[in-house]
Amino acid sequence: MDLGLQDKSVLVMASSAGLGKAAALEFCREGANVMLFSSSEEKLQAAQAEIKAATGKEPAYTVGNVTKAEDIKKVVANTVNRFGPVYALVNNAGGPPAGTFDDFDDTVWQKAYELNLLSYIRSIREVVPFMRQIGTGRIVNYTSSSVKQVLENLILSNTFRMGVMGLTKTLSHEFGKDNILVNVMGPGRIGTDRIQQLDEIRAKKANMTIEQVYENTIKTIPLGRYGTPDEFARLTVFLCSEANTYITGQTMLVDGGMIKAY
């Protein structure tokens, strides 16, 4: 299947590691022109080199913070100047702190809002004029399996991921006339540093080893293992490709069948 991504301008947020880096690699594998974005230039340079070695295609990168409006404006401007109008945007950001309702004051709630919802709003606002200019576009918003089934000890994530889901569904209606497709992807237990961190927190809280947490968790996953970032990334690339012409406003989980909710 020709995904039609050759030389397309693609911006992947929070892409120096984890799911973002995996998506960037798969886009480069398809010949897209990819802009990486992260707050760590060292990690960006490492990701750039790794992706080039794996695909033969070197992505560009911009250093910045997803919670700063001026940095989002900068990375979009850099992408357009380097590769032309943005065709696809992958919204991604690190997860907020784990904890329960009593653990957080207004300051933490505000930071989680800016990280996991407002950053998505800002990046969409910046790229949509360029998508309208070229008459098409694709947006994928990363969330979590918590949009279908809340996760224990993750109230901040549970709350703001649902905001992204509402944003996405609404924008799919508003942007349909512009041929801009907008979807949500939610990872289950995908083997990233974030999941490792959460498993360590769970282990400490339950007085268990990390290995015990893993063994208990995979019992709840029909496929019997954690997923890999590349498995998640391949669906991202399809949803952002020209092969996807009629899927918009949807929420798709990549979770090995873990979530039991419809």
- The single residue listed with the structure tokens 């949500």 is 184
Q: In this model, does residue 33 exceed pLDDT 90?
A: yes
pLDDT at 203 over 90: no
Which residue from 57, 53, 55, 60 is spatially nearest to 38, judged by alpha carbons?
60
Q: What is the pLDDT of residues 45-56, one digit of tens each?
A: 999 999 999 999
For residue 249, the model assigns a pLDDT of 98
**Sheet with 137-142: strands ordered across:** 60-63, 33-38, 9-12, 88-91, 137-142, 180-187, 251-254
The model's pLDDT over 223-248, given as tens digits with 9 standing for 90+, comes to 999 999 999 999 999 999 999 999 99
CA gap 190, 72 in Å, rounded: 27
Angstrom distance (rounded) from CA 82 to CA 225: 40
Q: In this predicted structure, which of 8-12, 52-56, 209-213 has the lowest mean pLDDT?
A: 209-213
What percentage of the chain carries pLDDT values higher than 70?
100
State both tokens at 240: 């952002």
**Tokens representing residue 141 in the block:** 């918003």
pLDDT for the residue 210: 87
State yes or no: pLDDT of 201 exceeds 90. Answer: no
Q: What is the mean pLDDT of the chain?
A: 96
Identify the weakest region by mean pLDDT among 115-124, 139-148, 197-206: 197-206
Q: What is the pLDDT of residue 108?
A: 98
Range in 20-29, 97-106, 202-211 the model is least confident about:
202-211
Structure confidence at residue 195 as a pLDDT band (50, 70, 90): confident
- Residues 131/85, Cβ–Cβ less than 8 Å: yes
Q: At residue 251, does pLDDT exceed 90?
A: yes
Looking at residue 96, its pLDDT comes to 95
Q: Give the contacts of 64 (CB within 8 A, at least 6 positions apart).
A: 37, 38, 39, 71, 72, 74, 75
164-177: per-residue pLDDT in tens?
999 999 999 999 99
pTM higher than the cut 0.75: yes
